[in-house]
């Protein structure tokens, strides 16, 4: 009885302590595998979709919940759902020029049949996509303890940081993962990672075993914290699978403003081609110099006879941009870009009909609304824009002859029209 009272008092004391801490982040996001950045192949399979919630207390204690839907149509014809609820507490120590951050993790994973198949099929019906009917690895659900830790060592070159990170996560009776990556951070907003991931399962059915194999091997990822808006993306080279998350952090509206000027700009947008398909656009600009990627992926809407074929059309370009002031709110701009265009057409998830890289050039023009610093949250400035683009792809004649349906996505002239958002970041 005395021990039980002591535990209750300890729990109440912990709750009182947590309630006194200020919530600095409340991040909610949705994830999907169509977010490929042009490198991954959108199979609508693997880690197919998910929802995410993260709460930070004074940037000292982080509570994160992830609800994930896994399908394996390619190998086993099964699926499973997983919910992870984890608590992390970063501990930082500086030794000379290197800053070390140790982040222990404790939490819970629940896996099995959690009903995510019904949610997936309701969404597919709403957007006129084929429904997915796969048996679960298990019709039951079970809970597993999570314990792990991440160690990162970083040294700073101004507002650019570089270093290494190693992590280990043990989900008892279910799976484990080990990852070693190189890390580059630009200010506190953009984090780039590249390295190697090892995963294996202790239990579970065929879909779970197949998923561990898909997620093994070389991996690349980025995370952008744009204040109100956040995005992240991870790519697994071994399987060609990728997964991205778009989210919002409403607590940024209540943080004190610290923006002074823009050191670099992260941009995202949706540009629509003449067939009405959305091309996701992402860019990173340092003054007039810009790096930009665009991609569209998934089924060809003009190919009703073979709806299971899937394509990726993507560009990676570098360029120069110029902006003018028309009024206090209207700023016309123009970009000149050149680089490479990827064309990928999958006959089946394992057989590619087309895999080609071609040279390309593009001009983009549009209007940015508002000046830098006009609409600010914390240390980020937001500028919406409308954009139009004309792009030419070299040497497409032979490529157009391979498949008449895919030819409509090849060009050589590609016209795009859409909207976007530029987020100017002040890392100081």
Q: Indicate whether 282 and 377 sit together in one domain.
A: yes
How does pLDDT run across 189-217, given as a tens digit for each residue? 899 999 999 999 998 899 999 999 999 99
Domain of residue 45 covers 22-254
The CATH number of whichever domain residue 95 belongs to comes to 2.40.128
What's the confidence (pLDDT) of residue 45?
86
If asked whether residues 164 and 184 sit together in one domain, one would say yes
**What secondary structure, in 3-state letters, does the chain show?**
CHHHHHHHHHHHHHHHHHHHCCEEEEEEEEEECCCCCCCCCCCCCEEEEEEEEEEEECCCEEEEEEEEEEEECCCCCEEEEEEEEEEECCEEEEECCEEEEEEEEEEEEEEECCCHHHHHHHHHHHCCCCCCCCCECCCCEEEEEEEEEEEEEEEEECCEEEEEEEEEEEECCCEEEEEEEEEEEECCCEEEEEEEEEEEECCCCHHHHHHHHHHCEEEEEEEEEECCEEEEEEEECCCCEEEEEEEEEHHHHHCCCCCCCCCEEEEEEEEECCCCCEEEEEEEEECCEEEEEEEEEEECCCCCCCCCCEEEEEEEEEEEEEECCCCCCEEEEEEEEEEEEEEEEEEECCEEEEEEEEEEEEEEEEEEECCCCCCEECCEEEEEEEEEEEEEECCCHHHHCCCHHHHCCCCCEEEEEEEEEEEEECCC
- pLDDT value for 21: 65
Q: Specify whether 291 is located in the same domain as 234.
A: no
> Quick one: pLDDT at residue 324?
95
Same domain, 231 and 135: yes
Q: Which residues contact 172 (CB under 8 A, 6 or more apart)?
A: 144, 145, 146, 147, 202
Give dist(CA 117, CA 125) in Å, integer.
Answer: 12
Using CA atoms, how far apart are residues 15 and 68, in angstroms rounded to an integer?
A: 28
pLDDT at 8: 41
In a domain, 13, yes or no: no
Pairing state of beta strands 46-57 and 330-348? Answer: unpaired
Q: Is residue 6 part of a domain?
A: no
In a domain, 2, yes or no: no
Q: Is 151 within a domain?
A: yes
Q: Check whether residue 230 and residue 277 sit in a common domain.
A: no
CATH number where 328 lies: 2.40.160.20
End position of a domain, from candidates 224, 254, 284: 254
- 346-392 pLDDT per residue, tens: 887 778 889 999 999 999 999 999 999 999 988 999 999 999 999 99
Same domain membership, residue 79 and residue 28: yes
What integer pLDDT is reported at residue 233 of this predicted model? 95
- Whether 69 is in a domain gets the answer yes
Q: Is 173 exposed, middle or buried (0-12, 13-18, 19+ CB in 10 A)?
A: middle
Distance of alpha carbon 201 from alpha carbon 299, whole angstroms? 32
Q: Which of the listed residues 205, 226, 254 is the one where a domain comes to its end?
A: 254
Nearest to 366 by CA among 321, 405, 401, 400: 321
Whether residue 17 lies inside any domain: the answer is no
Q: HSE on the CB side for 65, CA within 13 Å?
A: 6
The verdict on 51 and 132 lying in the same domain is yes
Q: Are 284 and 245 in the same domain? A: no
The domain total for the chain is: 2
Structure tokens at 207: 């879909």
Which of 222, 254, 286 is the last residue in one of the domains?
254
Asked whether residue 186 falls in the same domain as residue 282, the answer is: no
Global model pTM greater than 0.85: yes
Q: 230-247 pLDDT, tens per residue?
A: 999 999 998 888 999 999
Does residue 98 sit within a domain? yes
* Same-domain check for residues 163 and 249: yes
Token duo for residue 182: 């190189």
Same domain, yes or no: 203 and 58: yes
The tokens of 239 are what? 């399987």
Q: So what's the pLDDT on residue 100?
A: 97
pLDDT tens digits in sequence order for the chain, 428 residues long: 444 344 344 444 444 444 456 888 899 999 998 888 988 887 888 898 999 999 999 889 999 999 999 999 888 999 999 999 999 999 999 998 999 999 999 999 999 999 999 998 898 888 777 788 899 999 999 999 999 999 999 999 988 999 999 999 999 999 999 999 999 999 888 999 999 999 999 988 999 999 999 999 999 999 999 889 999 999 999 888 899 999 999 888 888 888 999 999 999 999 999 888 899 999 999 999 999 999 998 888 887 777 778 899 999 999 999 999 999 899 999 999 999 999 999 887 778 889 999 999 999 999 999 999 999 988 999 999 999 999 999 999 999 998 888 999 998 999 999 999 999 999 87
Residue 241 and residue 287 in one domain:
no
Residue 174 belongs to some domain of the structure: yes
């Amino acid at each position: 009885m005395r021990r039980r009272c002591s535990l209750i008092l300890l729990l109440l004391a912990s709750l009182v302590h947590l309630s006194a801490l200020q919530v600095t982040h409340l991040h909610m996001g949705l994830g999907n595998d169509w977010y490929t950045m042009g490198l991954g192949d959108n199979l609508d399979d693997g880690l197919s979709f998910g929802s995410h919630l993260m709460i930070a207390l004074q940037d000292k204690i982080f509570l994160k919940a992830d609800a994930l839907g896994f399908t394996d149509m390619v190998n086993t014809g099964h699926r499973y759902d997983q919910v992870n609820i984890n608590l992390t507490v970063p501990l930082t120590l500086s030794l000379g020029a290197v800053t070390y951050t140790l982040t222990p993790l404790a939490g819970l994973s629940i896996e099995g049949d959690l009903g995510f198949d019904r949610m997936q099929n309701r969404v597919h019906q709403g957007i006129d996509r084929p429904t997915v009917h796969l048996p679960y690895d298990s019709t039951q659900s079970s809970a597993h303890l999570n314990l792990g830790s991440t160690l990162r060592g970083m040294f700073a070159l101004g507002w650019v940081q570089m270093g290494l990170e190693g992590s280990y996560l043990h989900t008892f009776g279910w799976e484990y993962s080990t990852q070693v990556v190189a890390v580059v951070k630009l200010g506190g907003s953009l984090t780039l990672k590249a390295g190697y991931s090892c995963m294996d399962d202790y239990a579970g059915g065929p879909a779970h075993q197949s998923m561990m194999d898909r997620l093994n091997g070389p991996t690349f990822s980025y995370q952008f914290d744009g204040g109100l808006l956040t995005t992240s993306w991870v790519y697994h080279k071994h399987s060609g699978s990728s997964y991205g998350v778009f989210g919002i952090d409403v607590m940024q509206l209540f943080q004190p403003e610290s923006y002074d000027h823009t050191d670099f700009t992260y941009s995202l947008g949706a540009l629509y081609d003449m067939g009405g398909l959305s091309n996701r656009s992402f860019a990173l600009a340092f003054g007039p110099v810009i790096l930009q990627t665009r991609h569209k992926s998934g089924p060809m809407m003009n190919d009703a006879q073979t709806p299971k074929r899937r394509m990726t059309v993507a560009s990676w370009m570098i360029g120069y941009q110029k902006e003018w002031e028309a009024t206090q709110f209207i700023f016309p701009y123009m970009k000149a870009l050149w680089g490479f265009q990827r064309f990928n057409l999958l006959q089946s998830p394992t057989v590619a009909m087309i895999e080609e890289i071609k040279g390309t050039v593009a001009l983009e023009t549009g209007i940015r609304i508002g000046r830098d610093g006009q609409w600010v949250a914390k240390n980020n400035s937001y500028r919406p824009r409308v954009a139009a683009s004309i792009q030419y792809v070299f040497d497409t004649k032979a490529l157009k002859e391979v498949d008449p349906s895919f030819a409509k996505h090849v060009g050589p002239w590609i016209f795009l029209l859409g909207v976007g958002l530029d987020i100017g970041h002040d890392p100081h």
